[in-house]
């Protein structure tokens, strides 16, 4: 037991949890915390807007698979991180957000910079704490990390009134905590896994759908073993992109609204799916009723509430996806269950993939999305971490940028938060400083958090912004072209600002790439120089993302490029 202030105990508890970096911005209500941060060994990354702090913590958390930490003050500081919290929740990313709050006696009196952040964030956090006594803080922090990082990960908020930061108490730092209403670990039911194997083995056209849960639990090797033992083709959700090497002969790539043509086609034709860590989002499966028709569904998920939420399942395996898959691999090996690749389904799958690879029409512009992204893949080392912004470029990345090394691709897939990719890339760089980090960006999305260039430059967290610039809010433009008879409104960004100059203004490197060769060279220059670089690539504003499954329709209604 040791006597110290609430703020000091917060810092000690964070250090005990292994947090060595915090993204944030100080203000009146969290100054006692910052004063202790000053005295601690934890590195502080000063952001220019709190939203970016939350996205950096999110990126850090997804890459390191332990909670990233962000700090914000009360009131507007706290409300500025709401988008980041919602993003982390939608994508099950571990994160701890610590907000300052007005002194406890002022709560509820509409004090200056007071906001009810507990109430505001209730539906978008995994849990929230508001310690009212300094002595609670060590246990609160321990519980916050436990909740955030176990089971289905998610954001946890700790809202600390200023007086609670300042007050001193005898502090006890628990080495473990128990929460009676929280059971993150369920042992997978072995009988259900046996049933799953039977179902997969007896079906004629099986497919594996790998979701984000495979990446979160790091089940890459297990997934690959099962696919190879049973010779089952693998599609992924967009969130699950890169859970399976996309150059693998059994890989078909992501399904969904902008999925690969071959992936959507084979998903529709399959008679049995092994869905691993996927929540069957509407963006992945199209209409729920149509997707589950004629399809036997085996659903593995750590979150029991996902079973039966969007799809009716035939076999449900609740538990950590990696643990479940590991049991499955063991059973397959024990029972010597194997399937050869010489079957009509796999032959058909291979032919379909080959057909679309040969015949899918690509945009003719010299800087078409496919050409740009395939060039990027050529020059970017395979273990590099790639994030994306949100919009057309993101869906092009899904289509044309193959992820080779599992678990190196991250995107705001659930909430679709524009402005996420760049700060998340900075967070990723903080988690893995030795690996190149690149944000596949669109200018509309990059605009939203581009002031993080200052952070990237000054805090020596160099990342590459690969800016696919089509001078417009391209995805909205595409919908207006497709569904609103070309009544174009609110999409024209008019080539403003000049991103090379923006980069230079922040002390970063700016390169304009006007040919495919330029694109390759620019990425190589950025990799070599290891400084923050914005590569501005002017594209044709009229290029659409195709294939396209229109909202409210099913995967079989996929629109192909004509």
Task: State the minimum distance, in angstroms, from the CB of residue 139 to other proteins.
Answer: 14
Task: State the minimum distance, in angstroms, from the CB of residue 147 to other proteins.
Answer: 7
Strands 68-72 and 21-24: parallel
From residue 499, give the alpha-carbon distance in Å to each of 8, 49, 397, 511, 534. 42, 20, 21, 9, 7
In contact, 107 and 101? CB cutoff 8 Å: yes
Coil, strand or helix at 39: helix
Residue 213 exposure: Cα atoms within 13 Å on the Cβ side: 29
Q: Is 282 in the site for other proteins (CB under 8 A)?
A: no
Binder to other proteins among 309, 374, 512, 521 (CB under 8 A)?
309
Q: Is 178 in the site for other proteins (CB under 8 A)?
A: no
Joined tokens for residue 461: 């967290």
Q: Is 288 in the site for other proteins (CB under 8 A)?
A: no
Q: Is 479 in the site for other proteins (CB under 8 A)?
A: no
Task: State the minimum distance, in angstroms, from the CB of residue 152 to other proteins.
Answer: 9
490: left (phi over 0), alpha (psi -120 to 50) or beta: left
Number of Cβ within a 10 Å radius of residue 322: 22
The verdict on whether 389 is a catalytic residue reads no
Q: Residue 93 or 526: which CB sits closer to other proteins?
A: 93
d(CA 230, CA 203): 11
The residue count for binding other proteins (CB under 8 A) is 17
Joined tokens for residue 207: 């497919």
Q: Residue 126 or 283: which CB sits closer to other proteins?
A: 126
Q: Residue 146 or 446: which CB sits closer to other proteins?
A: 146
Q: Residue 50 or 159: which CB sits closer to other proteins?
A: 159
Cα 339 vs. chain centroid, distance in angstroms?
Answer: 34
Which region among 177-185, 348-356, 380-388, 457-465 touches other proteins (by CB under 8 A)?
177-185
Which region among 107-115, 194-202, 303-311, 481-489 touches other proteins (by CB under 8 A)?
303-311
Binder to other proteins among 181, 340, 364, 552 (CB under 8 A)?
181
Binder to other proteins among 109, 180, 361, 528 (CB under 8 A)?
180
Binder to other proteins among 28, 304, 520, 561 (CB under 8 A)?
304
Q: Spell out the long-range contacts of 35-43 with Cβ–Cβ below 8 A and sequence spacing 24 or more.
A: 35/7, 36/5, 36/7, 36/8, 36/10, 36/11, 37/11, 37/71, 39/8, 39/11, 40/11, 40/15, 41/15, 42/11, 42/14, 42/15
d(CA 241, CA 311): 21
Q: Is 495 in the site for other proteins (CB under 8 A)?
A: no
Q: Residue 64 or 150: which CB sits closer to other proteins?
A: 150
Token look-up 């909202």 returns: 551
Number of Cβ within a 10 Å radius of residue 114: 18
Task: State the minimum distance, in angstroms, from the CB of residue 527 to other proteins.
Answer: 43
Task: State the minimum distance, in angstroms, from the CB of residue 306 to other proteins.
Answer: 9
Joined tokens for residue 487: 């009544």
The verdict on whether 162 is a catalytic residue reads yes
Q: Residue 123 or 364: which CB sits closer to other proteins?
A: 123
d(CA 369, CA 541): 11
Q: Is 179 in the site for other proteins (CB under 8 A)?
A: yes
What is the secondary structure of 220-231 as a DSSP string? HHHHHHHHHHHT
d(CA 56, CA 72): 13
Q: Residue 56 or 300: which CB sits closer to other proteins?
A: 300
Task: State the minimum distance, in angstroms, from the CB of residue 14 to other proteins.
Answer: 21
Q: Is 486 in the site for other proteins (CB under 8 A)?
A: no
Q: Residue 116 or 269: which CB sits closer to other proteins?
A: 116
The verdict on whether 176 is a catalytic residue reads no
Could you tell me where the DSSP H helices lie in 173-287? Answer: 190-202, 212-217, 220-230, 261-269, 282-285
d(CA 239, CA 213): 9
The verdict on whether 171 is a catalytic residue reads no
Catalytic: which of 56, 475, 539, 558?
475
Catalytic: which of 2, 39, 112, 524?
112
Task: State the minimum distance, in angstroms, from the CB of residue 78 to other proteins.
Answer: 17
Q: Residue 136 or 262: which CB sits closer to other proteins?
A: 136
Which positions from 93 to 132 touch other proteins by CB under 8 A, shown as an x/- string?
Answer: -------------------------xx--xx--xx-----
Task: State the minimum distance, in angstroms, from the CB of residue 15 to other proteins.
Answer: 25
Task: State the minimum distance, in angstroms, from the CB of residue 108 to other proteins.
Answer: 12
The reply to whether omega before 497 is within 30° of 0 (cis) is yes
Q: Is 308 in the site for other proteins (CB under 8 A)?
A: yes
Catalytic: which of 162, 239, 241, 375?
162
The verdict on whether 95 is a catalytic residue reads no
| Four-CA torsion 287, 289, 293, 298, nearest 10 degrees | 90
d(CA 19, CA 24): 14
- Nearest CA-CA partner of 133 in 160, 151, 153, 107: 160
Task: State the minimum distance, in angstroms, from the CB of residue 312 to other proteins.
Answer: 8
Q: Is 344 in the site for other proteins (CB under 8 A)?
A: no
Q: Is 458 in the site for other proteins (CB under 8 A)?
A: no
Could you tell me where the DSSP H helices lie in 71-211? Answer: 76-80, 82-90, 117-121, 137-149, 162-166, 190-202
Binder to other proteins among 103, 167, 182, 531 (CB under 8 A)?
182
Catalytic: which of 113, 201, 288, 504?
113
What is the secondary structure of 377-442 as a DSSP string? HHHS-TT-EEEE-SSHHHHHHHHH----STT-EE---SS--TT-HHHHHHHHHHH-TTS-EEEEEE
Task: State the minimum distance, in angstroms, from the CB of residue 322 to other proteins.
Answer: 21
Q: Residue 305 or 488: which CB sits closer to other proteins?
A: 305
Q: Is 82 in the site for other proteins (CB under 8 A)?
A: no
Q: Residue 135 or 379: which CB sits closer to other proteins?
A: 135
List binders of other proteins among 136-165 (CB under 8 A). 147
Residues that bind other proteins (CB under 8 A): 118-119, 122-123, 126-127, 147, 179-182, 303-305, 307-309
List the catalytic residues.
50, 112-113, 162, 475
């Amino acid at each position: 037991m040791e006597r110290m202030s609430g703020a000091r105990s917060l810092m000690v508890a964070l250090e005990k949890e292994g947090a060595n970096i915090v993204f944030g911005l100080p203000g009146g209500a969290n100054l006692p915390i910052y004063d202790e941060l000053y005295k601690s060994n934890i590195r502080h990354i000063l952001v220019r807007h709190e939203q970016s702090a939350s996205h950096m913590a999110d990126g850090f958390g997804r890459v390191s698979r332990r909670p990233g930490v962000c700090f914000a003050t009360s009131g507007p500081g706290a409300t500025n991180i709401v988008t980041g919290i919602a993003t982390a929740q939608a994508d099950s990313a571990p994160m701890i957000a610590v907000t300052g709050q007005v002194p406890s006696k002022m709560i509820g009196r509409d004090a200056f910079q007071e906001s009810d952040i507990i109430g505001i964030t209730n539906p978008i956090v995994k849990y929230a704490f508001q310690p009212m006594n300094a002595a609670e803080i060590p246990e609160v922090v321990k519980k916050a990390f436990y909740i955030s990082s176990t089971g289905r990960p998610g954001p946890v908020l700790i809202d600390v009134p200023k007086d609670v930061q300042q007050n001193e108490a005898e502090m006890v730092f628990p080495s473990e905590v128990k929460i009676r209403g929280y059971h993150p670990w369920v042992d997978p039911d072995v009988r259900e896994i046996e049933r799953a194997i039977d179902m997969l083995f007896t079906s004629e056209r099986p497919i594996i759908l790998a979701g984000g849960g495979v990446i979160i639990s790091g089940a890459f090797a297990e997934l690959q073993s099962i696919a190879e033992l049973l010779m089952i083709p693998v599609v992924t959700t967009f969130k699950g992109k890169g859970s399976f090497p996309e150059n693998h002969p059994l890989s078909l790539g992501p399904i969904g609204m902008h999925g690969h043509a071959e992936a959507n086609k084979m998903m529709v034709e399959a008679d049995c799916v092994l869905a691993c860590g996927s929540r069957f989002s509407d963006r992945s499966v199209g209409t729920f009723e149509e997707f589950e028709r004629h399809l036997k569904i085996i659903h593995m998920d750590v979150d029991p509430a996902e079973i039966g939420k969007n799809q009716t399942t035939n076999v449900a395996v609740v538990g950590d996806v990696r643990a479940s898959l590991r049991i499955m691999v063991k059973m397959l090996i024990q029972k010597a269950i194997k399937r050869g690749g010489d079957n009509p389904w796999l032959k058909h799958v291979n032919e379909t993939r080959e057909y679309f690879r040969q015949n899918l029409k690509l945009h003719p512009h010299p800087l078409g999305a496919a050409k740009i992204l395939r060039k990027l893949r050529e020059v970017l080392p395979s273990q590099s971490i790639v994030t994306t912004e949100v919009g057309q470029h993101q869906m092009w990345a899904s289509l044309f940028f193959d992820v080779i090394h599992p678990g190196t691709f991250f995107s705001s897939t659930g909430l679709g938060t524009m402005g996420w990719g760049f700060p998340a890339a900075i967070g990723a760089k903080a988690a893995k400083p030795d690996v190149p980090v690149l944000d596949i960006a669109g200018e509309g999305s990059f605009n939203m958090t581009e002031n993080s260039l200052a952070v990237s430059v000054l805090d020596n967290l160099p990342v590459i912004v690969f800016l696919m610039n089509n001078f417009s809010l391209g995805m909205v433009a595409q919908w207006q072209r497709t569904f609103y008879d070309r009544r174009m409104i609110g999409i024209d960004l008019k080539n403003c600002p000049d991103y090379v100059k923006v980069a230079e203004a922040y002390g970063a490197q700016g390169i304009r790439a006007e040919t495919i060769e330029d694109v390759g060279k620019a990425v190589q220059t950025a990799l070599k120089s290891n400084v923050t670089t914005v590569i501005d690539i002017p594209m044709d504003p009229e290029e659409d993302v195709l294939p396209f499954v229109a909202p409210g329709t099913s995967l079989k209604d996929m629109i192909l490029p004509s």
